[in-house]
Amino acid sequence: MQCVKCNNDLKLEVFEHDDEIIEGMLSCTGCGNTYPIISSIPFLVDDLSLYFSIRAKLGGYLLLHAKNLKIKSVIKKALQKIPHMGNDTTDLEKNWTTIYKQSKKSQFHLALQNVITRMPKCNLVVEHGCSIGTTTVALAKKSNTAFGIDKSFFALVEAKKHRLQNVDFFLADSLSHPFGKTRFDIVVALNVLELIEPSNLLQVINRQAKKFLILSDPYDYERGKNSVKTRLDETSIRKKIRQYGFQLILNSTKPQFFAWVLKVNPRLTLHYKVDLLVASRKYLF
């Protein structure tokens, strides 16, 4: 892991641990930026105040439950420095964690599992927008080490419950990630193009992916003021991937849409059609 601000190494201070670190602090050896570890989740965001600006309720929850005084101080200072409070997404992120937990058996998940089964044994894997870690864990069973990053604290707490030795999860922004120049055998980003600027995310993925990439999206960009600026559809994303030197494999040359069913509550179910793309570097074949 590296500092997300200046890419220098991080120094670890442990406050509480059992079989893993429960509370601690990561400090940059270059710029001095600090990153708290809370409930075994490293908060690797450049600006914690900005992160809490739409999650003040989460900040209060963490302040209440943190045990170490250094951790409490970092959280308190971040909350005090919030420049402008936006609509709080704490409860929304918590609710989506529950929704994802009870929505694991759709056609999309079966198709994705089939893709993972056909992937070769790998060394390093990373998933952007890993949510509750289902796909990261499945890939970890075919790799030496797997990482998942997401910005939802509650989803990552759920992901950590898998408790596999070769998997780790970080709270981080995909466009400002803690991996420096590390390259991965497989890079995954599922259903996040409406949340992360697609062209920017593909640039990151292109730099990271050494062998394979797995992408999916329903191309549902109607997010009001939070919509991304540049929208990619099933045609333009394939063009972009080819421009980066990848070739589409496993029947994903043409769009292939699979049903993704999300059970919001007993009265509401969301039905998406999700395009699944699998690509490899051309030099592999």
What is the reported pLDDT for 230?
A: 87
Q: pTM of whole model > 0.85? A: yes
For the chain, residues classed under CATH 3.40.50.150 are 96-284
What is the reported pLDDT for 252?
A: 95
Return the CATH superfamily for domain 96-284.
Answer: Vaccinia Virus protein VP39 (3.40.50.150)
What is the reported pLDDT for 223?
A: 64
pLDDT in tens, 136-194: 999 999 999 999 999 999 999 999 998 888 999 999 999 999 999 999 999 999 999 98
Q: 3-state secondary structure string, the chain?
A: CECCCCCCEEEEEEEEECCCEEEEEEEECCCCCEEEEECCEEEECCCHHHHHCCCHHHHHHHHHHCCCHHHHHHHHHHHHCCCCCCCCCHHHHHHHHHHHHCCCCCHHHHHHHHHHHCCCCEEEEEEECCCCCHHHHHHHCCEEEEEEEECCHHHHHHHHCCCCCCEEEEEEECCECCCCCCCEEEEEEECCCCCCCHHHHHHHHHHHEEEEEEEEECCCCCCHHHCCCCCCCHHHHHHHHHHCCEEECCCCCCCCEEEEEEEEECCEEEEEEEEEEEEEEHHHC
What is the reported pLDDT for 211?
A: 96
Separation CA 40–CA 29 (nearest Å): 21
The set of residues, in sequence order, having a beta carbon less than 8 Å from that of 12 and lying 6+ positions away, is 21, 24, 25, 26
What is the reported pLDDT for 255?
A: 94
pLDDT in tens, 112-145: 999 999 999 999 999 999 999 999 999 999 999 9
Contact between 175 and 204 under an 8 Å Cβ cutoff? The reply is yes
Give the residues of the chain that fall short of pLDDT 50: none
Separation CA 239–CA 244 (nearest Å): 9
What is the reported pLDDT for 226?
A: 67
What is the reported pLDDT for 258?
A: 95
